Structures are given as structure tokens and as C-alpha cells.
A and B are shown apart, each in its own frame.
Chain A
Amino acid sequence: MTREANAVDFWRGFALITIFIDHIPGIVYSHFTLANVSISDAADLFVFLAGWSLRLMADGGGRHMPTRDVMLRLFGRALELYAAQVLITMLAIALLALSATELKNPLLLQWHNAAAVFDDPVPTHIGLAVLTHQLGYFDILPLYVVLMLMAPFFALIDRHAPHWLLPLSLTLYLAVLVFRLTLPTWPVSGTWFFNPLAWQVVFVLGFVFAKGDSGIGAWARRHIKVLRLVALPIVILGVLVHVFDWWPDPIDVPNPKLIFIADKTFETPMRLIQFLALVTVFSVAFPYIRMAAKLPSLNATVDGLIRLLAMLGRNSLYVFCVGSLLSLSAQVVRFVYRGTVGSDTVVVILGILIMAFTAWLAESRQRTRPAGPPASAPAASPRS
């Protein structure tokens, strides 16, 4: 039995489609995604909602779960994400190799950090296995794997000293910004595109805000109207920064510079604050979207949209994996068909349809499974 459409699944579905489009460089529809009007983008939303889902996993979906079971469950989840990352990376490499062979073009072997796999396969395969070598646009799942490996500790602190979790996370975040702590890549020298030591703060914020009955989550819900009044100008300012190119010159800002600049790798405060403002403002949206679905003139369209996005969101790991491979395939298609508006439109529509089919297939498979004990599948547990 699939759960009802809810705001978390809806927005996660939205993030998945946005990431799919954003990961096709040059596609005409990338001009209409969140990243064009917001300092943060769909990656922030994806990680925040992953933290939100962690709350459901860590709390056992409303049933008391022993700490040991929670730990095992979270480590198991990290392993599942790792397996997904290894699988889609190997498929992506095969896709590039196949495209290069069929199109007789060695340039395709060099896309997205793949060159090292063919240049020097011995160390690069070790790097792929230990996640220190990541293909371009296949670098969100490694972040998610590291966050899930940290998740048992977050859950443990939350159980025994809940008021310490966010301060500890913020302290680590500030230390990362001040001392520019990051994870190195290998065998190609460099740093992780998504720095897990910085991005953990988004994950933890999702985790703590998801708790509605106490802590900062309860406080935010009590003061949501005031918070929205504060957040709205920040969201508008984010749009203006984009439209009028008001980005601060990174050279001119004082040290430590990461505190003042907009940087995705380090999820700097400018991005983080704007993202939290965006979430605060748009937290009001889903109930209105649902109401719109009841209007006779909009009923079919909006209801279909809600059901589509929620279904994608409910199955986000499968959809994310397929979406990543679709983005790469779309790049090859654009290369062959020269990226016209027509081919871009076909690519986006087909991509969304295949992502929807993936989610439908995952749910169909679950529906046809023999009924098991309810403890193995709590209603709100994300298969994402």
C-alpha cells in the first residue's frame, strides 16, 4: 500500500525532475529551473529532504525502535546507497564507452571525469570503489552515502542529547568554512564537488526541522507566520541577485572568505540562509496546490501533477539513479541531434516519462509482494 501524496514526496519529486534537467548542460529548459532564480538549487532541497526522511527512519515511523535496530537500519541504508552509486557509475562509464564507439568519437570518453578510468584504470577503479573518484553529475550520491554513514551518530546524539545535535553540526560547519576543511579526490588530485563536512548541516537541519513536537522544529512551526515574513524578502533578494548580477566579488570580501561568498562546494551561509528562507516561504504552498486540485477547471492537471511528483518522490533512489543515467543519455542525444528546442523538448518529456515509469514499476513490484509483517515497512518509511 503506497502512502498518500504529501508535501515531502511532492517536493522531492520536484527536486528530482529539476536535477534531471540541470544535469543536461546547455538544454534550453535549464533556463527555467530553480537555479536561475535562487542562490540555492535542487541539490539543497534533495539533501534537506533526505535529512527530513532520516527523522522518519530514526524515529521508527512512530513506533519505538531500539537504538541498535536504528543503527543497523541506517548503516544498511548507507550500504544500499553505496551499491546504487557503484552501479550507476559503471553503467555511466559503459554508456560513454558505447557512445564513443558507436559515434567513433573519443571525446565522449573524456566527459565528466571519465577519462581517468581509461587513462589509468588501476588506481581509478580503486578511487571509484572508495568514492574518491566521482564522475561529473554523479557526485550527489557519494555525498548522500557519507551523510548516511554519519546518520547513525546524528540519530544517537538526537536520542540522548537532542539539544546538542544542531550546535555540534553548526560548529563543524563553521570550522569547515574557517579552516577550509574538505575531502580530497584521488587518483586525480582535487576536492569533492559536494563537501560532506559542509553539507551535513543541510542534512541535519532537515532532520531537526522534521521533528514537530519539540526542539527547533516545534519552535519553527509555532512561529511560522513571522518566519515567513522574515524569509520572503530574503527569497526576493535571491531573485534580484540573479537578475541584476549582484553577486559579491569574492576577492573583495573579508576573510574567512567562505563565510561571505556563494559557493556550492562548501554550501556557504549565503546559499544556506537563502535556502532556508525558500523552504520557509514555500512550506505554505503544498496545501494550496492541493486546494487547486479541487477546482473543476484545474482538477485533472493539478491532481495529475501532485500524483506524479509524489510518486517520483516516494521512489526517489530508483528515480534518482535512472534520472542520472537519463541525463547522461540526453547529453549524448543532444550531441547527435545538435540540441534544438524540438529535440530538447522530446528529451525532457521522454526523460520524465521514463522516471515516472521507474517509480510506477517500483510501486507495482511492492504491491505484488506477499504481505509481510508491518514492522518491516512503516507507512512513512522512505524508499528513497
Chain B
Amino acid sequence: MTAQPTPAAAPTAAETPLSKACQPGASALAGGPPLANVAAALAQRKQLRILAFGAAPGRISRRGGYTALIESMLARALKGIDVIMINRGVSGELAANAAVRMKNEVALEEPDLVLWQVGTNDALAYVAADEFAATVKEQLDWLKAHKVDVVLVGLQFAPEMLRDAHYIEIRDTLRKVAAAENVPVVRFFEAMQIINRADTDGPGPVADEFERDEAGYNCLAQYVARAITLGVFAKGMPKRVPAAQ
């Protein structure tokens, strides 16, 4: 999707707004480190190439779905920038397999930014936390070495998983690795947990849960778009969250 070009030499930014339903979850999002390579690419090429990995790119809806929402929000926020979203998500893939595939896709597609939703499948498949940490760290180091920025997207939320010690361990491991590597991570699990708490007193039927989860991906797209714009302009997370129009 191409936004209206502007004559300015550098891209201008607008806040990517959060819808009212998604605002409670924003308190679980931390201000991330700057996305220096993305900022440089925007200034030089007026183009942002994003490679999406993980289960989230497989989420679609009549309104367009996860990647389309991010693309349109970024196109609005980054005036004059051509935003190109490349979807290579494979849901169900372990981090180790995704890492191998990602290297090839990065070489072929030459993205400025990788969006990587990771951890859920490793948690569900009981991959050891240290093995998972080593895989993610190695991949983040490789991406850094090749000047490709990353925004990590954390584990998916389901109320039942709060009782799963391994799931929580993988969630926390991802957060620790991201902090150690100074990479922004959208803490999807925590954000959805907050929204869920505000929305319901407890888990309902699976169908309701799925609908809530579908709405959660709408929020996730907003959080990711916000993390990217904040990373580009390195402002840190604003204290007051503007509501969507």
C-alpha cells in the first residue's frame, strides 16, 4: 500500500492510534529501543519493507487482517513512505525451523524490518526454555549483523495457559532475551490478559474465546504499528494514549 507522497526530505510521523477496546492493553507495552536501520531506510529510500513471520500473519478478517491492518496504519502514520508487507508466516512452526527459513527470506526479500511472532509453538511443543532462548538469540544476532531490525511479538494468550508453567517460562524467556538483545517485544500475552480481565470475569465457551482472540489480533496489529512508529522516531511510549477516530 502506498501512502500519499509528501515533498519533505524525511518521513513525517503521526501517532498510530489505539482503538478504545485496545487501550487497556497498552499498559503492558513498554517503550522499545529505536529501530535505527528502519529509520535510515525510510530516510534514504522512502520505502519500508517488512517481513512477517509467525502465526499472526495468518490471521485474516473481513476488515483485512493482521498484516493488512499494520500496513494501512503505517502508511497513514509514515506519510510519504511506501510500506511493503511480505507475509511468510507459517503457523505451527517452531522457532528453530522459522529461523532457518527466515535467513533465506531475508536474503531474498531484503526487508528493513522483521516482525517475528515467536514462542507459542515452542511452548505448546514443550521445547526446553534454554534451547528456545539460544535459537532466538542466535537469530537476533544474525539479523543485527546484517542490519535488519526486528520487532518481536510475544506469545498468544488463552486464560488456560496461565496455569501452564512451561508456557509462562517460555513467555518470560522471550522477554529476557529481547531485553538482553535490546530488541522491542510486543507483549501480546500480557496485553490480552489485561483486556480479557477488563472484558470478562472468567473464560467462557471456546467460541467466545476465539472471537475475543480475533479481536485481540486487531489490537495486536495496532500495538505492532505503534511499536514500529515509536521505534522509528524513538520517542518512547507516550503516557497518554490517544483514542482512535
State the A residues within 8 Å of B (CB). Answer: 25-26, 100-101, 103-107, 109-116, 118-120, 123-124, 136-137, 180, 187-191, 193, 249-251, 253, 257-258, 261-265, 331, 334-335, 338-339
Contact = CB atoms under 8 A, between A and B. Distances in A.
Contact of A335 (B58, B90, B108, B124): B124
A25 B60 contact: no
Given A190-B87, A263-B104, A136 B206 contact: no
B88 A190 contact: yes
B127 A188 contact: no
Contacts of B127: 26
A263 B124 CA distance: 26
Contacts of A249: 103
Given A113-B92, A339-B125, A261 B104 contact: yes
B103 A115 contact: no
B60 A193 contact: no
27 contacts: A25-B94, A26-B127, A105-B161, A107-B120, A107-B158, A111-B92, A112-B91, A115-B58, A116-B58, A119-B61, A120-B62, A123-B60, A188-B58, A188-B87, A189-B67, A189-B87, A190-B88, A190-B89, A191-B88, A250-B104, A251-B103, A253-B107, A257-B108, A262-B104, A265-B101, A335-B125, A338-B166
Contacts of A257: 104, 107-108
Given A251-B107, A261-B107, A116 B59 contact: yes
A244 B191 CA distance: 41
A263 B101 CA distance: 8
Interface in B133-163: 146, 156, 158, 160-161
Contacts of A107: 120, 124, 156, 158, 161
Nearest to B166: A338
B106 interface: yes
Contacts of A105: 158, 160-161, 206
B126 A339 contact: yes
Contacts of B120: 107
B15 interface: no
Nearest to A23: B92
Contacts of B209: 104, 106
B172 interface: no
B125 A109 contact: no
A106 B93 contact: no
A25 B121 contact: yes
Contact of B206 (A109, A115, A188, A253): A109
Nearest to B128: A26
Interface in B109-139: 120-122, 124-127
B203 interface: yes
A180 B110 CA distance: 14
Given A111-B92, A113-B58, A115-B55, 7 more contacts: A118-B214, A120-B65, A187-B60, A253-B107, A257-B108, A264-B101, A335-B124
B197 to A, nearest CB: 16
Nearest to B138: A245
Contacts of B101: 264-265
Given A105-B160, A106-B158, A110-B55, A120 B61 contact: yes
A116 to B, nearest CB: 5
Given A107-B120, A338-B166, A116 B106 contact: no
B71 to A, nearest CB: 10
A351 to B, nearest CB: 16
A112 B93 CA distance: 8
Contact of B91 (A111, A189, A263): A111
Nearest to A114: B91
A257 B106 CA distance: 11
Nearest to A256: B108
Residue with the greatest number of chain A CB neighbours at <10 A, chosen from B59, B87, B101, B107: B107
Given A105-B160, A136-B90, A187-B60, A119 B206 contact: no
A113 B214 CA distance: 14
Contacts of B87: 188-190
Contacts of A119: 59-61, 65, 214
A177 to B, nearest CB: 11
A338 B92 CA distance: 17
Contacts of A193: 90
Given A188-B87, A338-B166, A26 B160 contact: no
B76 to A, nearest CB: 20
